[in-house]
Amino acid sequence: MKKQAMNVVEKILATHLVEGDPKRDAEIGIRIDQTLTQDATGTMAYLQFESMGVKRVKNDLAVSYVDHNTVQIGFENADDHDFLQSVAKKFGIVYSKAGNGICHQLHLERFGKPGTTLLGSDSHTPTGGGIGQIAIGAGGIDIAVAMAGGAFHIPTPKVRAIVLKGKLRKGVSAKDVILKVLEKFGTKGNVGWIFEYTGPGVATLDVPSRATITNMGAELGVTTSVFPSDAVTRQFLAAQGRAKDFAKIVADRGAKYDDEFVVDLSKVEPMMAAPHSPGNVVTVRSKQGTKVNQILIGSCTNSSYRDIRTVALYLKGKHVADDVEVGIACGSRQVINMLAKDGSLAILHSAGCRMLENACGFCIGAHMSPRTGAVSLRTNNRNFEGRSGTKSAQVYLVSPETAAASALTGKVELPTRKPVATVQSPKKFPVDDSMFLYRATAGRGVPGAKLVRGPNIAPVPKGEPLARDLKGVCAIKVGDKITTDHIMPAGARLKFRSNVPEYAKFVFEPCDPKFHDKCLVNKGKGLANVIVAGESYGQGSSREHAALCPMYLGVKAVFAKSIERIHRANLVNFGIVPFVFENPRDYDRVSAGDALDLKGIRAAVEGDGVLTVKGARGTFRVKTSLSDRERRLILCGGLLASL
């Protein structure tokens, strides 16, 4: 019998399917081979894993990276690191020490395996798609379940082929390609899709370039993005001393897709995302000459050797403009070691760049906030308002080439005017795994190892079963495209990630600093807090704190025009009902402070998901469409309460 032609997504999912049938069901469960966590989401993931009472991790490989909270002002970050190290030792997890690099770059270099699945407690986990993995970002508790051997559930994906043709011109790179895709598909409306890159142009892109594209695919709101695993992948793995990890995974001839979009690489021009959304894409040409105050290069999107070496080639023998500050954060020690060896580091120093730690740093607003009203060009993947730490700053997302060319004049410049040579993929990367601890005990753990818990590590709160009826109040009303950075700010607040009561004080801080206090007053009166929001609520990061902390404050439901995938899953995991307005115009009938009668909410969740709400200006209907699994979770107060 002739086998049906399959695309890359189908091939990988077919070998990992454990629940459901993609032909029939709206949701499927897949086995997870590898997991990754970073420190900002990891502490909570491991606290939850611990509370499941499992003795050691059960998936093939679990890696715990420390890269987000490395500023260490006060004891909190260091306490978290100690806790994470002790968890890794006890439960059989590989631990990547602070200073080793950024999780996604490191995982690509040292662990990512074509044809496998990777689940990470960070929304940019799809970076692994660059090496042919189905790599998905999720909330920490989903990672905890996967480490305990449980399945991960995704909406049965629709697969869009992004067909690459031709070859990029000099001075144009992967960042411009993903910005082109974002220009076409935007940051909303892509829930449930997987973007698979295919076509003859794929072979012209090296693995780090592919990873830049899949990394920033997160901004589309898709489940993930993936490239085939081909000769280029084989060469990359061999150069990393991992030839044995290679598996060829390419789409069969005649493979089918639900949709197709063609990108002619030779026609792509330098692109940028203008403030304050990665989907706000314009050409660099249209902003040429704009004065720039700050340029930051690196982060998990563009921090490979190829990227930073390219910047060095632009800056060789030159100096950055006087009134622009330039900072560079490399993705890993491997990258820095290579730059040190080939002279790039000296070039960058002489050119007046500030070499930053190889960590998330500026990307998450942990430092390097620009001056008031600044124009900041950055190679990272998000430019949400205020994420840089400066609310009035205008952050543009650009390629390393555009960043470097602009650094020389202090104005937005076209990198294609004086392009540099293309950096070739190295034949051999210098491998040094010495900052990955507990590799020898991975999967087993060290007998007798004890957990180390500083005062910043607080117990995880559990949800309560959903009541039959609720008397509620609209605790806040927000607009469209509210990101998790609005709901649960990072930056200076990040250090409270393992301390929910403390972190909860900052829920919605940028929108309404009194939100926390109001919620507690309502909760004290026995009222359920309800969040009312517009389109694309919860876009951005995978941080489950954006659901966990509201749960702690007594939020029981969200009424939005639409809700983004990861955040919706996090709400369900913490027992908050993710409702959407049946008629989006009813959004206008609710104001902050309105009493909302949620009579029959439990029956609605048990039944068809439709709830009639009595508000201050009449009744309206909200609905939620839940799988049986999700329904069960919400009814008992969330995933942790269900165990």
Identify whether the C-beta of residue 263 lies closer than 8 Å to the C-beta of residue 164: yes
| Span near ligand MIC by CB under 6 A; candidates 117-125, 157-165, 220-228, 416-424 | 117-125
Q: How many CB atoms sit inside 10 A of residue 289's CB? A: 8
Between the alpha carbon of residue 291 and those of residues 95, 375, 394, 466, 599, the distances in Å are: 42, 7, 11, 54, 56
Q: Helices 565-573 and 545-552 meet at what angle, rounded to 10?
A: 40
Footprint of ligand SF4 on residues 341-360 (CB under 6 A)? 360
**300 near ligand SF4 (CB under 6 A):** yes
State the Cα–Cα distance between residues 270 and 285, nearest whole angstrom.
8
Tell me the site size for ligand SF4, rule CB under 6 A: 11
Encoded one letter per residue, x for contact with ligand MIC by CB under 6 A and - for no contact, window 66-105 reads --x-------------------------------------
**Which of 490, 465, 502, 477 has its CA nearest to residue 577?**
465
CA–CA dist 445, 447 (Å, integer)? 6
Least Cα distance to 189 among 568, 484, 536, 534 occurs for 536
380 forms part of the interface with ligand SF4 (CB under 6 A): yes
CA distances from 604 to 114, 403, 600, 607, 627 (A): 43, 52, 6, 5, 13
Closer to ligand MIC at the Cβ: 410 or 489? 489
Please check whether residue 559 is in contact with residue 621, taking contact to mean a CB–CB distance below 8 angstroms: no
Site string for ligand SF4, 87-126 (x = CB under 6 A): ---------------x-------------------x-x--
Name residue, tokens 């120093």. Answer: 349
Which residue of 86, 310, 381, 522 would you call a contact of ligand SF4, by CB under 6 A? Answer: 381
Identify the three-state secondary structure at position 238.
helix
Of the pair 95, 559, the CB lying nearest ligand SF4 is at 95
Task: Yes or no: say if 63 and 111 are a contact pair by the CB < 8 Å rule.
Answer: yes
- Site track for ligand MIC across 539-558, x = CB under 6 A: -xxxx---------------
- Residues that contact ligand MIC, how many (by CB under 6 A): 13
Query: Which partner, ligand MIC, ligand SF4, none, binds residue 542 by CB below 5 to 8 Å per kind?
Result: ligand MIC
Report which residue type is found at 33: D
Applying CB under 6 A, which of residues 33, 79, 80, 122 lies at the interface with ligand MIC?
122
536: CB partners within 8 A, 6+ apart: 187, 188, 221, 480, 481, 482, 562, 563, 564
Q: Answer with the entry of ligand MIC, ligand SF4, none that 543 interacts with (C-beta below 5 to 8 A by kind).
A: ligand MIC
Q: Considering only residues 128-147, where is the footprint of ligand SF4 by CB under 6 A?
A: none
Rounded distance between C-alpha atoms, residue 198 and residue 253, angstroms: 11
Least distance (Å) between residue 546 CB and ligand MIC: 8
Give which of ligand MIC, ligand SF4, none residue 299 binds (C-beta under 5 to 8 Å, depending on kind). ligand SF4
Indicate whether 363 belongs to the interface with ligand SF4 (CB under 6 A): yes
Out of ligand MIC, ligand SF4, none, what residue 81 binds, judged by CB under 5 to 8 A for its kind, is none
CB of 62 to ligand MIC, least distance (A): 17
Which residues contact ligand SF4 (rule: CB under 6 A)? 68, 102, 122, 124, 299-300, 360, 363-364, 380-381
Which residues contact ligand MIC (rule: CB under 6 A)? 40-41, 68, 122-124, 137, 364, 490, 540-543
